[in-house]
Structure 1
Amino acid sequence: MKYVSFAVIIAAALSVSACNNVDDADPSAPLPEVAAPELSLDTMRDITQELSSDAFEGRAPGSVGEEKTLALLTKEFTEAGLKPGNGDSWFQDVPLVESTAKNVSDLVIKGGSAGDISLKYGSEMVVSSNQEQPKIDITDSEMVFVGYGINAPERGWNDYEGVDVKGKTVVILINDPDFGTESLEGEFGGRAMTYYGRWTYKYEEAARQGAAAALIIHDTAPAAYGWNVVESSWTGTQFYAQSADGGADETKANGWIQKENAEKIFASAGQDLPELMTAAKNKGFKAVPLGLTASVSFENEISKTASKNVIGILEGKTRPDEYVLYTAHWDHLGRCTPAPDGDDICNGAVDNATGTAALVALAEAHVKAGAPDRSIIFLAVTAEESGLLGSKYYAENPVYPLSQTVGGVNMDAFGMAGPAKNIVVVGKGKSELDRYLDAAVELDGRVTEAEPTPEKGYYYRSDHFSFAKQGVPMIYFEGGEDLIDGGKAAGEAISKEYTENRYHGPKDEFDPNWNWDGVMADLKIYYTVARMLAMTDAWPNWNEGDEFRAIRDKSRTGNSGN
């Protein structure tokens, strides 16, 4: 795909004054009174169980699991009382390329004091390609360490300054330079990860710099997940967006290497990786040629497919051309690295059969409550696990104008820890939607809190981000970890167990013994926030100073093509 720098998107939007007279209602006006109706536990439980059953084979795009998912969602949306959301169709085609690496060689590093270093595919490194080529060969490619791999002119930061990496293999650190700081102050938001810290950005920038290959050093803390997640997510079939040039402007190969192996490679080059990691945190860091070469090859099995977003709509009764959006991704990883017992289906029960089931349960509730003033869109997107591709495609090719989309709520994985005293807001303080959430949470006798781990970059890891980049205010929140039964210690323990043992693995499976009380309490808040948005005439915006504010202002003054 052809990538555009995130910095360029923001800079272009900032050329339009954020002080335009946008036709927003008073953001401090009273909010509509909304009473959440009874929400169906049976719907949540039954659909989650079915979507995450082995019959759906992990819901990979382009698979039999997709066919079954589409059939289930259209049936459930119809029975809930929604109308097809794309004319007479429930679907929006999302053109994808399906790529599977076969016969992957070892990654061989030559030229160092340790002699040849070979890393095995899966257990020690992963690699794939976004180029539509039947065979990928990286042969004796010079290796360059480029720190965090960031080129952010608006911050005066360029890790590629003064070095030519065309045709070379760049080695990159995950997260961004402020990782590990305690405050939220710093060049890159302090402790909070920015988009520059995400693996997606790092591969995009490496491609813009002309690199032949990009290898990210995996480190559990800044990555926010263990090597098991990398292995299960990056081996097997990968998906990416179709492009006119067949991915010719991409790197030939993108991959990850384990930190302990990276340390051996750097030592063989006469370099100390921990020292370079420290140096890379400072503005003005200069890339370091390693004096080594990298070689790897693999067959690239390519096919093209049109996966599908599923769209249903409940039309508004007085302002049907103003839209409130619910999003959740229906896809998961399909077949993946087997567990010790041989189970190779990544069922994605929590992530995100639960969020997909919530779309149906919420549709049922909104229909039963009667049409609100504004229309509500229920959007189940594909290929989130491949880099938010389904939501990105909709946001760039909207069925309903984004300038008329008031805002939205994203749902990605309902935790099964039981009811909590709090709600965690990912990106708290970014937009005026916080006010709607605060009101809904207060009605339920709970409190909102900022995410406790902003360094993990969750704001850039789910589908709301695709819409935020286009200026649409989106809110993303989850049930908190301060549990009524057991407090924060119990909640943190349950969250850690899920991340380490089940997230993006075969054991994210439906459990008939799950406690759904917390899920249903959270679902009530998802209902209330969207219903308030659908019953007001206000147009909540991003807060002053937020990076997406100028993009929204431009859209709302009629200067956007969306």
Structure 2
Amino acid sequence: MQKKWLSLALIPALALASCVKVDDANNAENLAALPEVAAPELSLDTMRDITKELSLDSYEGRAPGTVGEEKTLALLTKEFAEAGIEPGNGDSWFQDVPLVEIAAKNVSDLSIKGGTGDMSFQYGPEMVITSYQEQAKIDVTDSEMVFVGYGINAPEREWNDYEGVDVKGKTVVILVNDPDFGTESLEGEFGGRAMTYYGRWTYKYEEAARQGAAAALIIHDTAPAAYGWNVVESSWSGPQFYAQSANGGSNQTKANGWVQKDVAAKIFASAGQDLDAMMTAAKDKAFKAVPLGVTASMSFENDISKMNSKNVIGMIKGKTRPDEYVLYTAHWDHLGRCKPAPDGDDICNGAVDNATGTAALVALAEAHMKAGAPDRSIIFLAVTAEESGLLGSKYYAENPVYPLNKTVGGVNMDAFGMAGAAKNVVVVGKGKSQLDRYLEGALQADGRVAEAEPTPEKGFYYRSDHFSFAKLGVPMIYFEGGEDLVDGGRAAGEAISQDYTENRYHGPKDEFNPDWNWDGVMSDLKVYYTVARMLAMTEDWPNWNDGDEFRDIRDKSRAES
């Protein structure tokens, strides 16, 4: 889970995603009784064996366009076929996803001139940089630096950090997250504590490009970014994948990157500014961009290659309503080779993220086949390039094999936690759709509860594949095993989660562990089975709740069916 994209046309609506309030009483109309579903035996061996296989060093971290992709595709098609499901794209298991790979090399230091003296900062430990442009050589020379606060242009909120400043050809310096970060409530200009899409780094680069900037540098700060510099460095220092475009990315900035917070502080001090004071000022709507009076230079070369990566699609055809579809999604890719660990290991195996979710697709396919064909068809979609910006799911959603207005809804699976059995599950975007009702029904048998995510400021709603479908109207639910553990409670769960984030997430040590406790995984897998099976056995068409930003999109889509 890492990089996410969004079209400009949807930004004003979707920026509200984490803070929409709905009245559940207004959403009870036309809801059929939940069908009774009994989960068949779910295979721990399948989950464990496929997770282990996908995590092997021989898969090289499952980056698109590598031997890791070839091996992953071969494994998935073999396992899907043995489970008894059908190819999901006519006679093919695959959907081509056109990508371009850009790998920076011979990266210069970030050179700062002016102010109290010239400075330079090293690629990797102090800054990272890449380009969305398909250019063999990138040069940004003596580009004036401008601090643009949070880099937000939101007319519907009467907020524009670019007002009154021309940044064409300049390097903009931007804060991560949005101005409400650090508040306790969900009230505020930008959803209070909950991050909006304006807080995501993807938006900030998009807006910088629209403003004509030559380069955009985001100041990394661990708490508002929701991950440490180690994640930034490992995620951005290798080859990057982007969707192929007709213009080769010529409308993008030349360079996009991150700088460490202490690097930014030195640059600001050289410019006669205090970074902390500027960060405080940027939270006010009256903030105006600040030219720093220093220039930035950077250069690097790009190795560029185009390819067709692949989504893998399997299906179980419904027996009474085969042209109505229930969707499972999980991403099969990870980062490939990345910054080496101290022991020299440079393969980001992605065992938890997301070999576990990929294995779950197979285990669930087996279970649904054991139960027999449901009334509606079930689609098993393993998508590529999630780590590069939800590119595989985005491509499918915009080029669906099965019509979105005939897709009832779906369940996304991204990284099963290995903390053991929990009393709860955590729903990212709880309260947004009527799918919550199906989840609550599935949890009742186990005496578990569904809770809202405890850290909405981290913006997880925009960081996994459900979002590609949600923004086009398809009700999707994304939940994970909770941190209120049966053994150890919340304190133990939070400690395990923190340890994973700090020491394994997007790093070489996200590896298969034969000593993992699979109890929680298998409990969650049962819930994933039950939710989708209920959707496949009902005549109901659950919708987004009244007042949710996706409701109108879905209503218009269904009206065309």
- Give, as a single letter, the amino acid of the residue that structure 2 aligns with 1:223: A
* Secondary structure of the corresponding residue to residue 177 of structure 1: coil
* Secondary structure of the corresponding residue to residue 478 of structure 1: strand
* Secondary structure of the corresponding residue to residue 75 of structure 1: helix
TM-score by length of 1: 0.96
- Give, as a single letter, the amino acid of the residue that structure 2 aligns with 1:343: D
Partner in structure 1 of residue 166 of structure 2: 164
The answer to whether the aligner puts 1:249 opposite 2:251 as a matched pair is yes
- Give, as a single letter, the amino acid of the residue that structure 2 aligns with 1:72: L
Correspondent of 1:98 among 85, 98, 101: 101
Partner in structure 1 of residue 494 of structure 2: 492
In 2, distance between residues paired with 1:492 and 1:207? 38
Tell whether the 8 Å contact from 2:313 to 2:381 is kept in structure 1 after alignment.
yes
Partner in structure 2 of residue 16 of structure 1: none
Partner in structure 1 of residue 22 of structure 2: none
Tell whether the 8 Å contact from 2:5 to 2:203 is kept in structure 1 after alignment.
no
CA deviation string 1:424-468 (max 9, x = no partner): 001101111101001111121101110111100101000001111
- Give, as a single letter, the amino acid of the residue that structure 1 aligns with 2:118: D
Correspondent of 2:453 among 451, 454, 461: 451
The structure-2 alpha-carbon separation of the partners of 1:535 and 1:3, relative to structure 1 and needing over 3 Å to count, comes to: closer
Partner in structure 2 of residue 313 of structure 1: 315
Partner in structure 1 of residue 189 of structure 2: 187
Correspondent of 1:424 among 414, 423, 426: 426
For 1:329-478, what aligned pairs fall within 5 Å after superposition? 329-478=331-480
Tell whether the 8 Å contact from 1:238 to 1:386 is kept in structure 2 after alignment.
yes
- Give, as a single letter, the amino acid of the residue that structure 2 aligns with 1:277: M
In 1, distance between residues paired with 2:421 and 2:148? 45
Partner in structure 2 of residue 83 of structure 1: 86
Tell whether the 8 Å contact from 1:2 to 1:249 is kept in structure 2 after alignment.
no
In 2, distance between residues paired with 1:25 and 1:112? 62
In 1, distance between residues paired with 2:246 and 2:107? 27
Partner in structure 2 of residue 272 of structure 1: 274
- Give, as a single letter, the amino acid of the residue that structure 1 aligns with 2:36: E
- Give, as a single letter, the amino acid of the residue that structure 2 aligns with 1:118: S
Partner in structure 2 of residue 54 of structure 1: 57
Partner in structure 1 of residue 200 of structure 2: 198
Partner in structure 1 of residue 544 of structure 2: 542
* Secondary structure of the corresponding residue to residue 560 of structure 2: helix
Tell whether the 8 Å contact from 1:25 to 1:539 is kept in structure 2 after alignment.
no
- Give, as a single letter, the amino acid of the residue that structure 2 aligns with 1:333: L
Consecutive unaligned residues of structure 2, counting only runs of 5 or more, are 15-26
* Secondary structure of the corresponding residue to residue 366 of structure 1: helix
Tell whether the 8 Å contact from 1:27 to 1:432 is kept in structure 2 after alignment.
no
* Secondary structure of the corresponding residue to residue 185 of structure 2: coil
In 1, distance between residues paired with 2:537 and 2:165? 55
Correspondent of 2:114 among 111, 116, 120: 111
CA deviation string 1:195-214 (max 9, x = no partner): 11111111111111111111
The answer to whether the aligner puts 1:235 opposite 2:237 as a matched pair is yes
* Secondary structure of the corresponding residue to residue 323 of structure 1: strand
Partner in structure 1 of residue 505 of structure 2: 503
* Secondary structure of the corresponding residue to residue 123 of structure 1: coil
Correspondent of 1:39 among 38, 42, 59: 42
Tell whether the 8 Å contact from 1:26 to 1:538 is kept in structure 2 after alignment.
no
In 1, distance between residues paired with 2:51 and 2:249? 36
Tell whether the 8 Å contact from 2:5 to 2:390 is kept in structure 1 after alignment.
no
Correspondent of 2:263 among 261, 264, 269: 261
Tell whether the 8 Å contact from 1:7 to 1:152 is kept in structure 2 after alignment.
no
In 2, distance between residues paired with 1:60 and 1:391? 16
Tell whether the 8 Å contact from 2:195 to 2:456 is kept in structure 1 after alignment.
yes
Greater alpha carbon shift after TM alignment, 388-397 vs 347-356: 388-397
Partner in structure 1 of residue 292 of structure 2: 290
Greater alpha carbon shift after TM alignment, 390-399 vs 39-48: 390-399
- Over the matched positions of the two proteins, sequence identity in percent amounts to 83
- Give, as a single letter, the amino acid of the residue that structure 2 aligns with 1:40: S
The structure-2 alpha-carbon separation of the partners of 1:407 and 1:2, relative to structure 1 and needing over 3 Å to count, comes to: closer
Correspondent of 1:30 among 29, 33, 36: 33
The structure-2 alpha-carbon separation of the partners of 1:470 and 1:2, relative to structure 1 and needing over 3 Å to count, comes to: closer
- 1:284 Cα deviation after fit: 2.8
The structure-2 alpha-carbon separation of the partners of 1:166 and 1:130, relative to structure 1 and needing over 3 Å to count, comes to: same
* Secondary structure of the corresponding residue to residue 190 of structure 1: coil
- 1:28 Cα deviation after fit: 3.4
The structure-2 alpha-carbon separation of the partners of 1:162 and 1:354, relative to structure 1 and needing over 3 Å to count, comes to: same
- Number of equivalences: 548
Partner in structure 1 of residue 325 of structure 2: 323
- 1:10 Cα deviation after fit: 3.7
Partner in structure 2 of residue 174 of structure 1: 176
CA deviation string 1:364-408 (max 9, x = no partner): 000110111111100000000011111111111111111111110
CA deviation string 1:45-90 (max 9, x = no partner): 0000000100100000000000000000000011111111111111
The structure-2 alpha-carbon separation of the partners of 1:467 and 1:420, relative to structure 1 and needing over 3 Å to count, comes to: same
- Give, as a single letter, the amino acid of the residue that structure 2 aligns with 1:504: H
CA deviation string 1:114-151 (max 9, x = no partner): x1111100110000001000000000011111111111
Tell whether the 8 Å contact from 1:91 to 1:308 is kept in structure 2 after alignment.
yes
* Secondary structure of the corresponding residue to residue 399 of structure 1: coil
Partner in structure 1 of residue 139 of structure 2: 137
Correspondent of 1:520 among 495, 499, 522: 522
- 1:8 Cα deviation after fit: 5.5
Tell whether the 8 Å contact from 1:239 to 1:383 is kept in structure 2 after alignment.
yes
- 1:251 Cα deviation after fit: 0.6
In 1, distance between residues paired with 2:241 and 2:257? 14
Partner in structure 1 of residue 212 of structure 2: 210
Partner in structure 1 of residue 560 of structure 2: 558
In 1, distance between residues paired with 2:12 and 2:184? 29
* Secondary structure of the corresponding residue to residue 429 of structure 1: coil
In 1, distance between residues paired with 2:154 and 2:409? 28
In 2, distance between residues paired with 1:517 and 1:458? 24
CA deviation string 1:194-246 (max 9, x = no partner): 11111111111111111111100000000000000000000011100100001
Tell whether the 8 Å contact from 1:335 to 1:344 is kept in structure 2 after alignment.
yes
Partner in structure 2 of residue 20 of structure 1: none
Greater alpha carbon shift after TM alignment, 205-214 vs 153-162: 153-162
In 2, distance between residues paired with 1:3 and 1:402? 18
Partner in structure 2 of residue 18 of structure 1: none
In 2, distance between residues paired with 1:121 and 1:339? 17
In 2, distance between residues paired with 1:57 and 1:96? 19
Partner in structure 2 of residue 152 of structure 1: 154
TM-score by length of 2: 0.96
- 1:44 Cα deviation after fit: 0.1
